[in-house]
């Protein structure tokens, strides 16, 4: 997980890392979903993205397990409440997570609340 | 409908995608459903009828939605349908993903419509170690909750018995005053949902099942690719095996035994030649009727759609429906995302493309699931240019395959390359960006034979109703154009392009132009020209890639609008000529 130290978004050491950098199989808690920069044409699509992520239950505070990341900048698949969700490579850089030491709840099924 | 005595009530089925809403719809309405488009949109929905306890219900299967704050066109329609109101909303919730499903439930209940909840897939939830207390949920939400398993019909009767109990829910939010139902913020809503889930749901540990392991492996960076490759190869192999098997073992003998004697005696009756003979029976080849080459209504007109194409259509849709119902297609989207991203699409565009391999029309219609106009344009153009439909493929295998499978491979390789290159070019030159994939991957499920059979039947019926009349019409027109000398005139006019660029005899222009009616018929005509292997490959590629058939043309027009359809057609013709010429040059070097 050494990569997280170098991550440009959170250079303050030991902090959150992106979903993209989370190792396969690791459990983590989502701490922030960063909105992509709101440049003209991306804005509408980005709003749709955030709404869609939330509607699928991918939001701050949830515990996820990373299943895999596809090669050649392919999507990242994660397990959320026992259900697989795949998000594109670019989105995976905007989801910040804190890795968890032990498997909290079986399969990330138990709803975790702050 | 004989329901004039009392007014028909309206029942909406509302739920997330993949929660078994359609299975429930079929269970409660039976088979007589009407499918229509929501006014002013391209989103379709099903409507059916139910009679229960003296009441008549109009049942509407609302498009699957994750939220009523719409993120796509289907969700916009869902929002509008719910806002229009109903006598009862049946909220179909997936018991295996209660928390997320309650989000939509809350949004619906906040609209103060009478609601009853079908807590569906309780069997699957139990397998996953999830135990939900329906009575507790009922108390907390203030609306009836009935556990159901829509695919087996479990709980459906009880659900219908309790329809009259449906009532507006009493969603309470912590921090809000009791009875307050003002629209809450997202945070409040999620908090309230969290509290409810905590109180009604117990999750026990369970071991990974074989299907779970397969689910993980299917999206694994290594095994996912291996499984994907295996699925694709196995699908094509089994489609070919099934299609060929049905033709060789069943349909060829049947046509020889039943249709041939009839056609022969009719031929003798009509004197063996002349316009009416040629149109009804077709031309005799070496004094005999040839189902593939005679081109009469009674011979080729029946043989091509029913004995050459239909078996492959059945085989294709059988395999596709199997993959669909098993839940494999979203995994394919994950595997193809990186590639499709470089063509201006995201992984989910693989689903319309696969449908296009059956028939371009449903393929292009399915591009509606894509987010932007740009994506829809790219996907629809790629489908009509480089994705051959099952009818055309059946004829390619039947006609080009006679010269050896390597020539079939040459056709497929040219089409695949064209697909990749054209996609890349469109992505580079069209303004805009590739959107991101966000997709829920439903768990693998063992398909139910009944729903598989029904889906297959609907698709095959669609083919029969649409293709057979068009093939017959096409063959009639071919006969008339031939008889009036128009074919010869067209061939002369187009000879420079066909001869000079593509190295094809002038006669090949007729079939390629007539591809606009039905590509499978055109392929049959190309097969009858006696071309060399290289010529046949070039002609096949050109036929596949140029004009779409008439049905695809109409649907392209409807989906893209006149201007963009014209652009798409221009791209098609250009791409076909370039690919045809390139194939000719490359193959001539080797052969």
Q: Is B226 on the interface with A (CB under 8 A)?
A: no
pLDDT of residue B180: 46
pLDDT of residue B303: 92
**Chain B residues with CB-CB distance to A41 below 8 A:** 432-433
**What are the residue ranges spanned by the domains of chain A?**
2-108
**Chain B residues with CB-CB distance to A63 below 8 A:** none
**Chain B residues with CB-CB distance to A51 below 8 A:** 67, 69, 71
pLDDT digits (tens, 9 = 90+) for B24-81: 998 898 867 777 777 777 678 889 999 988 889 999 999 999 999 888 888 999 999 9
In order of A21, A63, A97, the CA distances from A15 in angstroms are 12, 16, 9
In this prediction the ipTM stands at 0.83
Among the listed residues B263, B305, B299, B310, the one whose alpha carbon sits nearest the alpha carbon of residue B470: B305
pLDDT tens-digit profile, chain A (114 residues)? 333 333 444 444 568 999 999 999 999 999 998 876 555 455 666 777 888 898 898 989 999 999 999 999 999 999 998 889 999 998 999 999 999 976 554 444 444 443
Q: Does the beta-carbon distance from A86 to B204 stay under 8 Å?
A: no
Residue reference for tokens 């106009």:
B373
Q: Does the beta-carbon distance from A84 to B129 stay under 8 Å?
A: no
Residue reference for tokens 């009756």:
B269
How many interchain CB pairs under 8 A, A with B?
144
List, in order of start, the domains of chain B with CATH numbers. 8-203 (3.40.50.300), 223-590 (no CATH)
Indicate the helix (H) or strand (E) that contains B410.
helix B405-429
Ranges of residues in chain B with a pLDDT under 70 are 1-6, 31, 42, 172-184
Q: Which residue of B has its CA nearest to A24?
A: B220
Q: Does the beta-carbon distance from A71 to B100 stay under 8 Å?
A: no
pLDDT of residue B378: 96
Distance CA B475, CA B458 (A): 26
pLDDT of residue B39: 77
pLDDT of residue A38: 52
Q: Is A84 on the interface with B (CB under 8 A)?
A: yes
pLDDT of residue B176: 45
Q: Is A23 on the interface with B (CB under 8 A)?
A: no
Distance CA B256, CA B248 (A): 11
In this structure, which topology does domain A2-108 adopt according to CATH? SH3 type barrels. (2.30.30)
SS (H, E, C) B39-97: CCCCCEEEEEEEEECCEEEEEEECCCCCCCCCCCHHHHHHHHHHHCCCCEEEEEEEHHH
pLDDT of residue B88: 96
């Amino acid at each position: 997980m050494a990569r997280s130290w170098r991550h440009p978004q959170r250079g303050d050491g030991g902090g959150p890392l992106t979903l993209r950098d989370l190792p396969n199989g690791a459990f983590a808690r989502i701490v922030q979903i960063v909105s992509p920069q709101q440049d003209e044409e991306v804005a509408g699509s980005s709003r749709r993205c955030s709404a869609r992520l939330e509607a699928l239950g991918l939001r701050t505070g949830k515990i996820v397990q990373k299943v895999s990341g596809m090669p050649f900048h392919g999507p990242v698949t994660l397990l959320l409440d026992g259900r697989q969700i795949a998000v594109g490579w670019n989105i995976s850089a905007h989801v910040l997570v804190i890795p968890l030491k032990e498997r909290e709840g079986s399969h990330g099924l138990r709803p975790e609340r702050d | 409908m004989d329901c004039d005595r009392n007014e028909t009530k309206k029942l909406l089925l509302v739920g997330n995608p993949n929660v078994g809403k359609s299975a429930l719809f079929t269970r409660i309405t039976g088979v007589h459903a009407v499918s229509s488009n929501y006014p002013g949109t391209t989103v379709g929905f099903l409507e059916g009828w139910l009679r229960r306890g003296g009441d008549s219900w109009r049942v509407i299967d609302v498009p699957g939605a994750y939220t009523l704050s719409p993120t796509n066109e289907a969700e916009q329609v869902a929002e509008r349908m719910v806002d229009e109101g109903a006598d009862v909303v049946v909220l179909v919730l997936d018991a295996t993903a209660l928390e997320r499903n309650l989000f939509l439930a809350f949004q619906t209940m906040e609209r103060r419509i009478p609601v009853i909840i079908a807590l569906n897939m309780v069997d699957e939830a139990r397998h996953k170690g999830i135990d939900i207390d329906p009575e507790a949920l009922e108390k907390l939400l203030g609306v009836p909750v009935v556990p159901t398993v829509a695919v087996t019909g479990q709980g459906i009767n009880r659900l219908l018995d309790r329809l009259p109990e449906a009532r507006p829910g009493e969603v309470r939010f912590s921090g809000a005053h009791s009875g307050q139902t003002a629209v809450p913020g997202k945070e409040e809503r999620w908090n309230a949902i969290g509290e409810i889930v905590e109180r009604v749901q117990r999750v026990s540990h369970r071991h990974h099942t074989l299907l779970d392991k397969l689910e993980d492996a299917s999206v694994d960076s290594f095994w996912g690719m291996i499984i994907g490759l295996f699925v694709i190869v196995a699908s094509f192999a089994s489609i070919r095996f099934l299609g060929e098997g049905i033709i060789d073992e069943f349909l060829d003998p049947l046509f020889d035994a039943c249709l041939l004697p009839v056609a022969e005696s009719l031929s003798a009756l009509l004197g063996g030649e002349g316009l009416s003979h040629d149109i009804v029976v077709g031309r005799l080849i070496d004094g005999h009727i040839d189902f593939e080459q005679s081109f009469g209504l009674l011979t080729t007109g029946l043989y091509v759609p029913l004995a050459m194409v239909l078996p492959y259509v059945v085989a294709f849709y059988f395999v596709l429906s199997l993959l669909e119902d098993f839940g494999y297609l979203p995994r394919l989207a994950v595997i193809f995302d990186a590639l499709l991203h470089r063509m201006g699409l995201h992984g989910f565009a693989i689903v319309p493309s696969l449908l296009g391999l059956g028939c371009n029309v449903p393929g292009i219609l399915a591009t509606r699931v894509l987010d932007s106009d740009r994506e829809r344009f790219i996907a629809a153009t790629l489908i009509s240019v480089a994705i051959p439909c099952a009818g055309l493929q059946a004829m390619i295998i039947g006609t080009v395959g006679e010269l050896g499978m390597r020539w079939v491979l040459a056709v497929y390789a040219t089409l695949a390359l064209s697909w990749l290159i054209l996609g890349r070019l469109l992505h580079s030159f069209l303004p805009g960006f590739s959107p991101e994939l966000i997709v829920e991957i439903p768990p693998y499920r063992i398909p139910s034979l009944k729903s598989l059979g029904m889906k297959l039947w609907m698709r095959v019926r669609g083919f029969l109703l649409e293709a057979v009349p068009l093939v017959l019409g096409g063959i009639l027109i071919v006969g008339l154009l031939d008889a009036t000398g128009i074919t010869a005139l067209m061939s002369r006019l187009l000879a420079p392009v066909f001869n000079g660029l593509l190295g094809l005899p002038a006669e090949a222009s007729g079939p390629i132009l007539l591809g606009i009616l039905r590509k499978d018929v055109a392929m049959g005509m190309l097969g009858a020209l006696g071309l060399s292997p290289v010529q046949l490959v070039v002609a096949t590629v050109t036929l596949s890639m140029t004009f779409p058939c008439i049905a695809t043309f109409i649907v392209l027009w409807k989906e893209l609008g006149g201007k963009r359809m014209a652009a798409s057609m221009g791209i098609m013709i250009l791409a076909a000529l370039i690919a045809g010429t390139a194939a000719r040059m490359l193959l001539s070097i080797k052969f």
